[in-house]
Amino acid sequence: MTEVPIYVAEPPAGSVRHTINPPTLHHELIAVSVSTTVLAFIAVVLRIFTRVCVTRNGVYMNDYMIILAMIFSFVLLGCNFPHMQSGLGYHMWEVKVVDFSFDFQVWTLVGTIIYATSLAFTKLSILLFYLHLSPNKWFRICVWALVFVVVAYVTVYDLISIFGCKPIAATWDLTLAPQATCMDNLTKYMALSVLNIIIDVLTLVLPIPVIVGLQMATRQKISVIAVFATGIFVCAVAIQRTTLLKPLMVSTDYTWHAVEQFQWCFAEVNAAIVCACAPALKPFCTRYLPGLLGSKFHSYNRGDASYGKQGSGGAHISAGSHARQWSSKNKDFYEMRIRDEDEGSEEERESKKGEVGVCDDEARLWDGSAAVRKESSGDGVQVPGVRRMSAAAAPKKSMEAYFHSSVTGGRGGAQVERSAANGIQVTSETRVMYARC
């Protein structure tokens, strides 16, 4: 004798139960979950490619955190399919009690834990990236404090989700619910969601004091705003998801209305991953999409960390020695400023070069071009140009006063000697690396 299936609810007035091919929201849920996950995966792949092949600085801890977040995002996507088979996306009156009371609850619990864990790893990746932005003590203390808050939050979130009932098994087995004592789900998840929004906002605004004083060109400001807009979008998604909690918890068609909640969960998880990857993609965009940023990328570990100003006596004064020492230990630190020599069209830059007389080898060395120059010393040695005070930054009058110069190259370095008409002799010695052709 065939056993008659028992359903969770009876159809409301005006609705009928479909025993064959019932209506579902599976296509809508799959479309959102797959598309957002693929987008996040592309962002992570480009980030790792940039680290390994573009900047060649290697993979750091914040990169490993985002890789873990992406792994959990894939797991969340995988859990989506058995969750749908157990009732997600169907009307309650078309879901069997045997599926809803155990399988549906198990996959809901698993999805909730994976969702929170993926977001936590993404936040940790962003916060660890912040450590490369500034050596300021107050800023780093705030970052580490937020790291502690994120770890504590996800730990409490997962523990409350698992151990919210007594006996514990009643959390994922509704057959034990009549004899169990459980926390109110609405109160529990509403409090956790509000705390999550607060952490998101703090993470978003924390670096603003660091970057607000930077001098940027318009295009680069747009790129930074775009990165922050991604973070604002993540906060907006979290708020939207939170507003859906109360009507969902009291819904008489929970399995149908929960689809929208899970769609926003996928959007939040994967948008957060894209947000975390966006700053690391600047070198990639600079190399392959230069028009997008309109600026050159400077990496402090390439030996371009010396910035200074011209003193009254014509001497080059170095500034920010503490920051340079810090940045040499943090190879992941990238300059966010735009240098004047990078602005303008190629014709304008060439005309500027002509004005300061960079046609001869010695002037090119003084100008500090980054290209590899071939010296006419007769032994076929190539000497990489050394970044120094740019010719454009030096007083034009003093540059024109030079009438004698000599350049000697050797394994120990390159020596530049200049004499002025007034009898003042300026000698500078710079160690350079070179290789034979």
Give residue 365's identity as a one-letter amino acid code.
L
The better pLDDT of the pair 64, 297 is held by 64
Handedness of CA 397, 400, 402, 407 (dihedral sign): positive
Confidence tier at 390 by pLDDT (50, 70, 90): very low
pLDDT the model gives residue 389: 46
For 174, list phi and psi in degrees, rounded to 5: -70, -15
Range scoring the smallest mean pLDDT among 75-89, 215-229, 405-419 = 405-419
List the single range of 22-26, 344-348, 357-361 with lowest mean pLDDT.
Answer: 357-361
111: left (phi over 0), alpha (psi -120 to 50) or beta: alpha
Confidence of residue 171 (pLDDT cuts 50, 70, 90): very high
Give the per-residue pLDDT at 383. Answer: 42
List beta partners, residue 428. 416
Specify the higher pLDDT residue, 282 or 429: 282
Q: How confident is the model at residue 218 (pLDDT cuts 50, 70, 90)?
A: low
pLDDT of residue 109 exceeding 50, the answer is yes
Top-confidence residue, 319 or 237: 237
CB 161 within 8 A of CB 109: yes
- Residues of the chain above pLDDT 70, percent: 63
**Which residue spans within 285-346 are E strands per DSSP?**
308-310, 316-318
Residue 342 has pLDDT above 50, yes or no: no
Q: Residue 318 above 70 pLDDT?
A: no
CB 181 within 8 A of CB 215: no
> Where is pLDDT greater, at 324 or 170?
170
> For residue 428, what pLDDT band results from cuts at 50, 70 and 90?
low
User: Rounded mean pLDDT of 121-148?
Assistant: 91
pLDDT at 429: 59
Q: List the single range of 18-22, 217-221, 255-259 with lowest mean pLDDT.
A: 217-221
Residue 112 clears pLDDT 90, i.e. is over it: yes
Q: Which residues pair with 316 in a beta bridge?
A: 310
Q: Is the pLDDT of residue 101 over 70?
A: yes
Kindly report the CATH number that applies to the domain delimited by 26-290.
1.20.1070
At 228 the pLDDT is 72
Number of Cβ within a 10 Å radius of residue 169: 11
Instruction: Assess contact for 59 and 52: CB atoms under 8 A.
Output: yes
Structure confidence by residue, pLDDT tens digits, 236-292: 999 999 999 999 998 999 999 999 999 999 999 999 999 999 888 888 888 887 765
Report d(CA 418, CA 404) in Å as an integer. 6
With a cut of 50, say whether residue 410 has pLDDT above it: no
Per-residue pLDDT reduced to its tens digit, 75-99: 999 999 999 999 999 999 999 999 9
Other CB atoms within a 10 A radius of the CB of residue 234 amount to 27
Strand, coil or helix: 10: coil
For the chain, where do the domains classified as CATH 1.20.1070 start and end?
26-290
Q: What is the rounded average pLDDT of the residues 296-309?
A: 41
Prediction pTM value: 0.68
- Look at phi and psi of residue 344 and say left if phi exceeds 0, alpha if psi is from -120 to 50, else beta: left
Pull the structure tokens for residue 21.
Answer: 């091919």
Q: What integer pLDDT is reported at residue 330 of this predicted model?
A: 53
| Residue 17 structure tokens | 């139960």
Average pLDDT, integer, range 371-393: 43
Residue type present at position 4: V
Q: Between 185-205 and 218-243, two packed helices, what is the crossing angle to 10 degrees?
A: 170
Helices 254-277 and 105-130 pack at an angle, to 10 degrees, of: 20
